[in-house]
Every structure is written in structure tokens, then in C-alpha cells.
A and B are shown apart, each in its own frame.
Chain A
């Protein structure tokens, strides 16, 4: 019985504590760069699309809200011919970003994306692709990967030796 009064007294004392509510939108909270908000697709430092349509983000997505289809340019670069995120399903878990081997898909500190119609929450590639590099300014997948594309031949990637001469006779 006494505990009830103690509880009530304790709760009453909370009246003199500082309030924790942040009065959004007048007051804006600090969002860390790694905040998991609206998803974007970034470009590499040369301006090419970073996404190589490897489907890993789609596979990692626990709510299966990412769909894409791979295509290839004349240069030998693979890219998504369409890339769709259904934000009405997205739970902003960030697994897609973790899965992405090219830093293409990134979550940004933006959560203000309410819509009146659910259909408007379906983002296509043109809504997702930005013109910058996002959080990773220097990374360029094709400079690391052993695949040759136009402008980067075999053996020209980082840490690669020139192509083997298979007709050479030297031991």
C-alpha cells in the first residue's frame, strides 16, 4: 500500500525534471551522417553510376522492397536498367547499404518523405540516383575490380600486374 504512495510521489516529482521532447520542426535534432534515412544511389568520383546491379541489396532486404534488373553498357559496365524501392515497405534497417559492395546504395540523414498517396512512396531510379559520391568520396569499384571496362584495361586496376603473355617461353 505504501509503495503506491511512493510511486505516486515519485511520479509527481518528475514534474520538476527537464522535458525530453524535441519540438520538431521548430527545433531540429542532430542527425549523424550515418543516420538511416532516405535511400539514395550515388556515383563514383568520375561521375559513373556506382551501382553494378549485383542484386545484393535486394537479397539483403528483409522486407523485399528493392527490385532491379541488370543491363550492360557498351563500355562493359553493368548498371541497373531499373531500380525501384518501395518506401511504403522499407523499414530503414540499412542492410542494403551494408550489403552493397560498391558503396552505391547509401542511407542519408533525411526522413522527411511523407506522402498523401502510398503510390508516391515508390521511388524509381531517377528519384534515387544523385550526382555525388555520398559518404565515400574516393571509392571507385572498377579501379579495384579485375574486370576490364572501356578506359581501364586488364592489369590496370589497383594491385594488378600486367597481363600474362601466354605465348612467352620464359620459365
Chain B
């Protein structure tokens, strides 16, 4: 640890840092713009000038840019030096010369890095007498608003968008003092990570367009730590609420999970919480078509009648409901009557993934570990669309080895532009095997497009190359064998290789990925094995046990059940319409608990309003196996409550026990009933924790209007709602996290804010070193840990794919927008959901005489679909793709089906 002297104070800096990172890490205030912890230094803005002295006798010193100067043993610098101060004040004055006078109508105001830095650098008055430069803005789609006048030319946006996230449609135009950041023409930003521009931009050039529709300042947002519910990765988020409506989602840094960035699905999918399809009061439907809202007590009484007195109850859980709610349901019906609500194939695949991760030596990596891998093999997963942030991490992994090479040539790791120049187009061992072209192909050294069977065969071939004990596919094509050999070589060379697969294709692919990882372990490599799961609590539900939806359908058909309880699950998105309708016929009573009206809730006789993620507290388990707690952000109007709370009350009413008074009690009973989930209790501190005798405040100190918000209804101020489930208060009263050690455990930090740091950059005040974890350990506990012992390889290897005449293997295609149920309900996302289609290999399409857009018919699994054709490059012959989108009936995929021109199939 080199010692440095900052303004005469002796401090310890970390090896390999630059001075700016060292100063910020030590808690000094030093203004900067172009440096970003994820993208490091380019030295573009000249804002972080400090004075460096030769030795203790040097009184003159010289001005250097802190972000471009490495930390050296015994370095002496001064931040406070008058000359350095004047330099910085001058720089910001230039930057502000053309800044428009529009903070009051700028959405960045109040959390603006430029505002913070202007105050920090001490610039107050515009002396520049000449006109201000202006620009025209572009329409960048439904997510990001563009206001170029505010730009200070720090280049962060393009560095993130192009260099970090691999986007191609945002760039720098024009020259000299009129540099312009935008697209070549108006249009929606193509990257899945465009929303991060809002946080990356130090000023208000890129702002959140969904927030603009119902704008609220940061200081007025009540927030709580939350977890994204739109995919299985469990990114940490900070939802903000005002006047009972969710206003926006911001990234919440977690060094082990999502780091600094979110995907657009997670950032903009939140609006379903404000949707008009929300259920806010219990609904009773005694006869079809007749429905009435009833009060909570009455609903609970009726539910207890439907459940009590020897009635046989079937319970269907959900991968999008919290552990606690699923557990409460399991308690209500008994473990033998608890069904996961997932179709057979998905259910089995999830169980298989669990068995692989817990039974084998390959460890499921955290997202940050994914970003640090130095060799990547993706087997059969379109990661960009099923787990977008993992794709972003994989893009960083793709640069890992080239960066290491550059660093070995004495280029500091933080010197981003030098590194970029050194790397050029060099690629690291990054291999993609997928059934069709994916966005990550561009980062790959080798790409293999093949049907699921062949992908599994490739995987097994690689495993066999690594370890001769592993099964070998028979009759492998020479080209594929060579590819397998190359990939195996690359993986062997790597220090931390990673295999990425998922449950979207087939069992054979999942097993092949396990074989590769285990083969690496067998030859002494530490391999990470990342399985992508579709929903926010898929892993948690698999850990909970239960049987599949198909088992439920069978059991119901046998008869003997009286009442069906469905928790936050729309069965019509899991199985075919007719199957579900027949299933519902088997029951006398159906009780549904959900937050949004679905086809399932409209079939139920009694509906309870469940809390959406921002309205309740619970625990989710992500694909890594990390249990993370999300907290209630606001107290919703109506009778909305968490699923577990409703179920507890119903059980109490029917005499089956006492209702849990808070979430800690649920977790305790869960720990005793389901030992695999025992540690979920440690995902966050219990409700009894107090900081300096107080709860942690959800609202910022500056939260306004509390004596006026309710005054419209009554001038008598109501008491703030109580929260029995967490050490967080619904008010600005309470402990205010301030960073630099004055903060609660990181699971409980509602928003990152530190005095003088109002922007998202405040996170540096909560980190353990640059890009380190949050001080006091990153939130979450791992529930899945690898076994020591080496299990036997999966021996069955599928034969090669053989196209059938007149039949197609229909595989599912996932889309970032629309494939997950909840984000599709968010209006800004809805506009970007692709129109349903049937994907075909271009040659197959020509044979079928189906040009793009022409309607074709698909007959599979007793279902007839008529959809426009789409030519999908890379899709193998004999394979058709059906997107998972709202409005497309559910099929158990992959399966064989017939694709034809409509009139033929009609005949």
C-alpha cells in the first residue's frame, strides 16, 4: 500500500490506482467529470487538477490531472492549493459558459453531478459576455430524453454506450466547440442499456423520459432498497415513490451483483405498478360476470370458509412471488399439495440446475464474477434478451484478457483510452453457441449456430476434449470437432473460465454445460457455471420444492380437490388456454392472490390484492442462488398487502395458526420448515435493528410537503404508516445514511447520498475502494454452494439434429421487451415489444414462399397460430422460432410442429 501525502496529511492509497481514485476513496472532495468508476480515466475534462510536489522541500509544485497520474509511493499532492483551486474554478467556468439557464426545468436538477461539481469548484457567476451555443435535440425513443444544450463534452455517454455496452448508434458529431452527442438521425436507441445514459451523463443531456411524465425531484422521492423483478439476475434497484405512485427506478450499486448499470427492461418496466389493471381491493365473483368489491375482513372470512373444514386445497405458487409468499402458501395447503405452477419442462430444468449447482464442484458465479471471467462459453442462450445485465458483464469479460495483455505492457488499467488503443480489435476467448444470431455474437471469437441437440453435442465434445472421461458425442462432424478442440484449448488456458447456459432450450444443453464445467474442474480449473433462469424467484421456487403445473393438472383431473389457491401466477402464460380452463372446472372455489388483473384472476371467485414489488417486503433468490431482500417503498392505497400477509390472516381466521406479525416471523418458520432456505433470514437485518436509536429514513432529509400532501383531504395530519417488517421508517425522520462510514448495513441504504454529492456518483462514498463492494459486505446471502465431490458426468449425449420433412422443430425466442410478463404491462416498454412472428431460416422461408411479413401458419401441440414470417439469420434449417410474447399462446417448447402457408393448412 503506497503512502501518499494529501495536503500534508499522510494517507494510504491502493496499488494501481490513480490519484483521483485515491483521493475520492480517502473521502476527499475533488471535482471530476470524465472519470467514471466503471469506465475509468481519459483525462478529457481537466477538472480534477491537483498540485503535485517533488518532495517535502518543493514549494512550487506543478499542476497535474489527478485522474491521469498514478499513485506512487510518497507522492505529495495538494487539493487545497490556491493555484489548483483557481485552475479548477477556471475549467468549470469554461464548461458553464454555454450551459443553458434551465435548472428549474431540468430533470437532473437536485441530483446533478454538474451542480455538485460547480458548487465544489466554487464557480458562481457567468462572466462570459458572448452568446450561448445551442443545439437541436433528437427524439431518442420512449426511454431517454435528449437536451444537448446542457452538454459539457465529457464523452462519458459514448464511452459507456459504445465502448462499455457495445452500442453502435450513439456517436460524436461535429468538431471544435460544437461537438454533438447523438444518433445520426432521430430514432429509438438500440442498446438494451440506453437507460444508463441517464445516470452516466453528469448533467441533464440524457434524462429519464418515463420520469419526465410524472416528474419529481430526487429529494422528494421516498425510496427503499429493492430488487428488480424482471429477470432472474436480481439486480439491486432503488425505486422512488411520490404521492402513491412509483416515479422511477434507479440503479442501486451492489459490488457483487449489478454494479453501476441496469438494463432498460429493469429500469423502465416498473410502470406496471401504477397500471390501471391493478387490483386494489378484494373482489368477490359469486357468478361469472358479476363481481363486487368487498372489504378485507369479509374476504378473509369467505376464504377461510373455502379452506376450512376438511376441504382439500391445492396451492399453486409462483416464480415471481417472494419466498415468503410461496412459503406461506405451502403452509396453507401443506407441502404435498403445493405446486410450483411451472410447466413440466421448465420445472424439471430448474430442479436439474439446482442439482447440478449443489451436487457438483462448479460454482454459480455472481454477476461481478461473470464480468471478471477471462474465457467465456455460451451454450444455447440468447443472454442479451434473457438476462441483459449478464450480457453487459460478459462484454466486460470479453475485454478481460486483452486488457491484461495491455497492462502487462505497463499501461495502467485505469488509462481507458490508452488501453483501448492497445487492444484494437483483439478478442478474448469468447465463444457463442446459440440456435440463432444473437447480439453477443459480435464479441465472440467463434460463433456456432445450431439446433439444441447440436449445441449439446458441441458442449459434450468440448467436455470430452478437456477430460477424456467425459462422454463423447458420436459421429461428430470434423468442423465441429475442430471447433470443440479450439474452444477446449481456450478454456484450458484461462484462469477463470465461465460457462453460461440457461433453461430456455433443453435438458441436453443444460447437462452439456454442466459436463463442460465439471470437465474443467476435473483438470483442476476453477470453472464458473452460470445458468440463466427466467424469473426473479425461479431459483427460490425450485428450492422450495413442490410439483409442476402438469402434475397439478393431472391431480386435479383425478378429482378430490375442493379449493384452488393461486399465488401471483397467470396460469394462461404457463399452459394452453383449454388445459387451464379444464383445470379450473375441477374446483368448487378458486382463490387468486395477485397484484394485477390477469385471465387467471378473472376466473377466480375470490381475488386478494397482492403487493407489487414496491409495495411489500420479501426475499427473492436470483440465478446465482443469492437471496436478497426487497423492501416496501410506500404504503399503497386500498387493501393491498403482501401475499404472505393475506395467507397468514386467512390461516388465522380458519384456525390453522396465528398470523405472522412481521416478515421475520415468516422467515423463522420458513427456516425450520425448509432447511435449504434457512439462510434467507440473513439476507437483510431484522426489523428490530436501530441506528443510533432510530429506524433508517426512507425519505431524504430534504423531503418536502409533508404538512401539505394530505391537507387537501384533511388538514389534520395523519401519522405516518408503520412498518413492522423492516428497520426503515416511512418518513424523513430517522437515521440518514451519509456515507464515509455514517451508514446502516448496506442492505438498508435507501438512496446513495452524501453531503455535497447529490448525484448517483455519491456511491463512491459508500464503497470500499474504487469499484469495491459496499462497505460492510454487499447485500445478499448465497443459498447455493457447490459440492466438494465430483459427480459422474451426464452420460447420455443426444444424436445429431435431423431435419424432418414437412416438420419444424419449434424453439422459443425471448425478447428483452415483452417476454417477461410484468414489463410488458409498462406503457413505455409496451411500444417496443415486437409484433408476434414466426421465425424461419431464410432458405426454409424461400421454400415455403414466405417472404418477411407474409403470414404463415404454425400447427403444434394442438394449437394453430397464424403469424407473419420473419427471416432469422443463423436459424438452422428445419428449425422454426416462436417468440415468447404477450398475445402468443403458450406451447411447451421446443417441440415439433408444422409450418405452412395459411391456405394449405386451412385445407
> Is there a contact between chains A and B in the complex with CB atoms less than 8 Å apart?
yes
A-to-B contact residues, CB < 8 Å:
52-56, 58-59, 61, 63-72, 78, 82, 84-86, 88-89, 101-102, 118-119, 121-122, 124, 141, 144-148, 154-155, 157, 159-164, 166-168, 171
B311, CB-defined interface residue at 8 Å = no
- B132: min CB distance to chain A, Å: 5
Q: Given that A61-B704, A64-B705, A78-B215 are known contacts, is A147 also in contact with B102, CB under 8 Å in the complex?
A: yes
B57, CB-defined interface residue at 8 Å = no
B59, CB-defined interface residue at 8 Å = no
- Binary interface encoding of chain B residues 436-480 relative to chain A, with 1 for a CB under 8 A from any of its CBs, else 0: 000000000000000000000000000000000000000000000
B712, CB-defined interface residue at 8 Å = yes
> Residues of B contacting A59 with CB < 8 Å?
110, 217, 219-220, 702, 704
Q: Let me know if B101 and A144 touch, CB within 8 A.
A: yes
18 more CB-based (< 8 A) A-B contacts, given A118-B715, A119-B714 = A54-B104, A54-B109, A55-B216, A55-B217, A59-B702, A61-B704, A64-B704, A65-B711, A69-B243, A70-B214, A86-B708, A86-B711, A88-B711, A101-B103, A122-B708, A146-B132, A147-B147, A163-B134
- A98: min CB distance to chain B, Å: 14
Q: Let me know if B215 and A70 touch, CB within 8 A.
A: yes
- B463: min CB distance to chain A, Å: 53
Give the docked Cα–Cα distance between A86 and B175 (Å).
52
Q: Let me know if B104 and A102 touch, CB within 8 A.
A: yes
Give the docked Cα–Cα distance between A17 and B714 (Å).
49
Name the residue in B103, B110, B176, B704 with the highest tally of chain A Cβ atoms < 10 Å from its Cβ: B704
- A4: min CB distance to chain B, Å: 48
Partner of B173, one of A54, A86, A146, A166: A166
Closest to A58 in B: B704
B62, CB-defined interface residue at 8 Å = no
Give the docked Cα–Cα distance between A171 and B220 (Å).
45
Q: List 12 A-B contacts (CB under 8 A).
A: A55-B217, A56-B104, A59-B220, A69-B243, A70-B216, A101-B103, A122-B715, A145-B105, A146-B99, A146-B102, A154-B136, A157-B132
Name the residue in B102, B133, B182 with the highest tally of chain A Cβ atoms < 10 Å from its Cβ: B102
Q: Let me know if A101 and B216 touch, CB within 8 A.
A: no
- A136: min CB distance to chain B, Å: 15
SS of B interface (majority): loop
> Residues of A contacting B260 with CB < 8 Å?
none
- Binary interface encoding of chain B residues 71-107 relative to chain A, with 1 for a CB under 8 A from any of its CBs, else 0: 0000000000000000000000000000111111100
B153, CB-defined interface residue at 8 Å = no
> Residues of A contacting B135 with CB < 8 Å?
154, 163-164, 166
Give the docked Cα–Cα distance between A144 and B311 (Å).
72
Partner of B105, one of A54, A61, A63, A119: A54
> Residues of B contacting A71 with CB < 8 Å?
214
B706, CB-defined interface residue at 8 Å = yes
Q: Within residues 706 to 722 of chain B, which ones have a CB less than 8 A from any CB in chain A?
A: 706-709, 711-712, 714-715
Nearest 5 pairs between A and B by C-beta? A146-B100, A67-B705, A58-B704, A54-B104, A67-B708
Give the docked Cα–Cα distance between A54 and B137 (Å).
22
- B182: min CB distance to chain A, Å: 8
> Residues of A contacting B175 with CB < 8 Å?
171
> Residues of A contacting B136 with CB < 8 Å?
154, 163
Give the docked Cα–Cα distance between A148 and B132 (Å).
14
> Residues of A contacting B268 with CB < 8 Å?
none
Partner of B707, one of A86, A145, A161: A86
B180, CB-defined interface residue at 8 Å = yes
> Residues of A contacting B538 with CB < 8 Å?
none
Q: Within residues 146 to 202 of chain B, which ones have a CB less than 8 A from any CB in chain A?
A: 147, 149-150, 173-176, 178, 180, 182
> Residues of A contacting B705 with CB < 8 Å?
58, 61, 64-68
